[in-house]
A and B are shown apart, each in its own frame.
Chain A
Amino acid sequence: MHQFLQQIFSGLAAGAIYASVALALVMIYRATDLVNFAQGEMAMFSTYIAWTLVNAGLPFWAAFLITLAVSFVGGMAIERVLIRPVENAPVLAAVIVTIALLLIFNSTAGWLYSYTVQDFPSPFPDRPVFGALITTRDLGVIAVTLVMLAMLFIFFRFTATGLAMRAAAQNPESARLCGIPVGRMLAIGWGLAAAIGATAGIMVAPVLFLDPNMMGGVLIYAFAGALLGGITSPVGAVVGGLIVGVTENLVGTYLIASQLKLTVAFALIILVLVFKPNGLFGTAIIRRV
């Protein structure tokens, strides 16, 4: 029983990471109808920026905040320069752009930082607490994720820009008629998604160790979480990510070899797509012609 609870808690910590990346995916999907396959690699690249800053002697949290800011600006720039030109192109063109981005970030990171696995510092000590149910590091990861989610909730719910972003994602034409600069809102969405991904990357790097392929598996789990929750639902992304994290941990501990855990994510993706394509919280997308 004790081991079972332990696995649930460490699953929640992993799930918090998947939930963050899933949320980033959902934000971009809602705004641009596009699955950003580069989300994980963008997060990985951000994590290298943080690593560079920490190695240059900056305190961890200063490096963290600077990385978030840089990622935000970088995400906006990617939207402006690479995504906007294919905004009205067939969806496959945009998908290819995000896959190209994935490869570009992966190889650039490999070129700049080499494929050698690097240690990444954790801001939290790694001590078991609460009768060894959970480690302080996992608690820290969960806390950071919760703070980030709360800030996003407040932003989207209570600020004019957050409301305008929701409007622009939902009905761009009406948003323009209200005088909302829809292009800028999409760019901010990409910036936020990049910053959310950066947070996830920095939080997961002490566990997975930093290398250019660090986020590959995380992205698959995040996809599974986003689909399970419903690719149109931010709440669904968070819930789905947490469920995937816990399931992955339990299945890997009790049912199958942990090398096969990623298979569970793929199986989940297929099951959701076949039996419940809208996920737990998603709404059917109706396209009016």
Chain B
Amino acid sequence: MAPILQLRSVKAFYGQSEVVHGIDVAVEEGGMTVLLGANGAGKTTTLRAICGMVRSEGEISFAGQRLDRRSTEEIASLGVAHVPEGRGTFIGLTVEENLRLGGYTRGRSDQNIQRMYGYFPILAQRRRQQAGALSGGEQQMLAIARALMMTPRLLVLDEPSFGLAPRIVEDIFTIIDRIKQEEKVSVLLVEQNATLALELADHAYLIETGYIVTSGSAKSLADDPQIRRSYLGY
């Protein structure tokens, strides 16, 4: 099966400087792919290039369509949902308004909102509260739920574990795994928590200073002694 997302020799820029130097990445339909790498390796910039938020060169195709040179809002309405670094919830709006905004391109969204409350019951309890009043974990859940409101074919997650307690991280990854099955959505994940990410993902890429240095099945990377030493810490 053809990958749902394919990057070919993609360069991406942070302001004027090139931080990703021609990488090839593929995400299989229905699969979960993880990008690993140290801080500043270019993971977030790669995700932002996919969603048209930074300048890029090279070819980015999604479900048979080119994404490069499209606007962020067009890419979103094609079915790429991006949960950005720092979650990007609308803190001054209520939980339910945030969800409604996620469904902006999909018209009537009441049914989908109920489905999201099924995944994240805590959000149903907090539906009338401002998003800014939520805890970090709840905000991450809201960010994911808002992305799913777009009924995307590809979910792009930028460090969902960032700043969260280990137990909450486990909860969130459990739910991401469940969502992947039930929503039939493919996932591209950037994650510092390599152990957890490699457990869930099918495929993994390791980025160092803007280059892909290793790629393969998540299992093979988890077994690679060098990766274990540098990224998994055992």
Contact = CB atoms under 8 A, between A and B. Distances in A.
Contacts of A160: 100, 104
Interface in A167-184: 167, 170-171, 173-182
Contacts of A164: 101, 104
Interface in B142-163: 146-147, 150
Contacts of B77: 179
Contact of B97 (A163, A173, A182): A163
A137 interface: no
Q: Among B84, B88, B90, B92, which residue has the most Cβ atoms of chain A within 10 A?
A: B90
Interface of A is mostly: helix
Interface in B68-99: 71-74, 76-77, 81-82, 84, 88-93, 97
Contacts of B90: 166-167, 170-171, 174
A179 B93 contact: no
B: interface residue count bin = 20 to 34
A113 B129 CA distance: 52
A171 B90 CA distance: 7
A284 to B, nearest CB: 13
Interface in A135-166: 160, 163-164, 166
A163 B72 contact: no
A176 B88 contact: no
Nearest to B105: A179
Given A163-B97, A173-B53, A173-B84, A178 B104 contact: yes
Contact of B73 (A166, A170, A171, A180): A180
A131 to B, nearest CB: 44
Contacts of A166: 90, 92-93, 97
Interface of A: 160, 163-164, 166-167, 170-171, 173-182
22 contacts: A163-B97, A163-B100, A164-B101, A164-B104, A166-B92, A170-B90, A170-B93, A171-B88, A173-B72, A174-B84, A176-B76, A177-B51, A177-B82, A177-B84, A177-B88, A178-B102, A178-B105, A178-B146, A179-B104, A179-B150, A180-B73, A180-B104
Interface of B: 51, 53, 71-74, 76-77, 81-82, 84, 88-93, 97, 100-102, 104-105, 146-147, 150
